């Protein structure tokens, strides 16, 4: 709804695009520092602060609808997202490990993502009547309240790790540098860590194709009113992938290839029914993202866990930008179906890259 809010506030398409740029820059700028913060300070407190910052941004949009407020809101949202990136994964993995349940990480995170996808679908359905009843103000207030509730839930998370334990008892610049050196050393010197990081970033980053799913759905000839239903089908596939996370991980390589085949076949079919194959593809991608993340978590140390996970998050952002740029350039020569088919190729490469070492 925020794009409509900006337009109704009198912003031009160029101004709206500039807001998205601000959002992206904020996320990029704080992605790696947030991982360092999470390895030096309390991760739970950072997870509490993250939704509060996002909620503050939504409050600015709701009560001070203007370009400066929109820009500030996107900065706060970007910082909040960066604070959460890597921090939650590190906290969950370590706490599960402390109770001897690290093997449950994939299932816990997969189901968490599945619930998140379900919540988004429900929110999209509720947004229409809320908008009709109270306009942008009502939607904005509801968004702020949701962020506050998220902060409360974050505060209830367990954290047995003492703040600063990741870098010894020191604090300040020394601790940050020690954690950063340790994280960089793991990635540079341990091929298994480097490979897992690249895989995680690639799977998550190329999953950004879902931003173009409505365009693909419309290109099949489906009526505009039917497109949301097609997106619901894909959402169900992604939810299923989340619920199945942690199962059959030894099939990660062939699963990525199968996802690519389904994506290409569904996109090139040019029919609404082809979105069922797209749903399967994105369900597998959701499942594979968790599987790749588990591979990375198992290979890194607690000392700089959040920092390395933030590196993966940063890499996924870079991959997503490449996806957006590639789609924008390719759209001058090809339609959505062909572009999605081409975009399936990296998943084949990932699958083969995993399969060849396994065969050796």
% of the chain beyond a pLDDT of 90: 36
Secondary structure of 245-294 as H, E, C letters = CCCCHHHHHHHHHHHHHHHHHHHHHCCHHHHHHHHHHHHHHHHHHHHHHH
pLDDT in tens, 327-352: 888 888 888 899 999 999 999 999 99
The structural domains of the chain, with segments of one domain joined by +, span 2-359
Predicted local distance difference test score (pLDDT) of residue 169: 45
Residue 176 pLDDT > 70: yes
Q: Which helix (H) or strand (E) holds 123?
A: helix 105-155
Predicted local distance difference test score (pLDDT) of residue 246: 81
Residue 120 pLDDT > 90: no
Q: For the residues 89-102, what does the mean pLDDT come to? A: 90
Residue 43 pLDDT > 80: yes
Please tell me the pTM assigned to this model.
0.79
Q: How confident is the model at residue 31 (pLDDT cuts 50, 70, 90)?
A: confident
The CATH class of the 2-359 domain is mainly alpha
Average confidence score pLDDT of the chain: 87
Higher pLDDT, 223 or 356: 223
Enumerate residues 6+ apart whose C-beta is below 8 A from 360.
none
- 3-state SS assignment for residue 106: helix
Higher pLDDT, 285 or 173: 285
């Amino acid at each position: 709804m925020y794009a409509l809010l900006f337009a109704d506030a009198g912003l031009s398409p160029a101004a709206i695009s500039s807001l998205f740029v601000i959002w992206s820059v904020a996320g990029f700028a704080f992605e790696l520092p947030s991982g360092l913060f999470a390895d030096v300070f309390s991760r739970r407190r950072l997870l509490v602060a993250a939704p509060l910052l996002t909620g503050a941004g939504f409050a600015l949009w709701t009560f001070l609808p203007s370009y400066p407020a929109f820009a500030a809101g996107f900065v706060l949202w970007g910082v909040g997202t960066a604070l959460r990136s890597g921090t939650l994964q590190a906290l969950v993995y370590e706490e599960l490990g402390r109770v001897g349940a690290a093997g449950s990480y994939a299932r816990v995170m997969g189901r968490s993502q599945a619930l998140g996808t379900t919540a988004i679908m429900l929110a999209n359905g509720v947004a229409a009547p809320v908008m009709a009843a109270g306009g942008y103000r009502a939607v904005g207030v509801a968004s702020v309240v949701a962020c506050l509730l998220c902060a409360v839930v974050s505060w209830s998370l367990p954290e047995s790790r003492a703040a600063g334990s990741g870098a010894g008892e020191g604090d300040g610049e020394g601790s940050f540098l020690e954690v950063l050196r340790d994280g960089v050393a793991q990635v540079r010197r341990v091929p298994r860590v480097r490979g897992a990081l690249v895989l995680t970033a690639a799977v998550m980053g190329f999953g950004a194709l879902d931003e173009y799913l409505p365009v693909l759905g419309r290109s099949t000839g489906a009526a505009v009113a039917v497109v949301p239903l097609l997106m619901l089908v894909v959402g169900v596939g992604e939810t299923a992938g989340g619920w199945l996370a942690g199962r059959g991980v030894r099939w990660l390589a062939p699963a990525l290839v199968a996802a690519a085949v389904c994506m290409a076949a569904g996109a090139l079919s040019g029919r609404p029914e082809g979105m069922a194959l797209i749903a399967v593809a994105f369900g597998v991608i959701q499942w594979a993202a968790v599987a790749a993340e588990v591979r990375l978590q198992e290979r890194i140390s607690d000392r700089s866990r959040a920092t390395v996970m933030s590196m993966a998050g940063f890499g996924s952002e870079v991959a997503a930008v490449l996806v957006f740029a590639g789609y924008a350039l390719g759209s001058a020569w090809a339609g959505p179906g062909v572009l999605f088919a081409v975009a399936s190729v990296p998943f084949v490469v990932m699958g083969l890259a995993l399969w060849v070492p396994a065969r050796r």
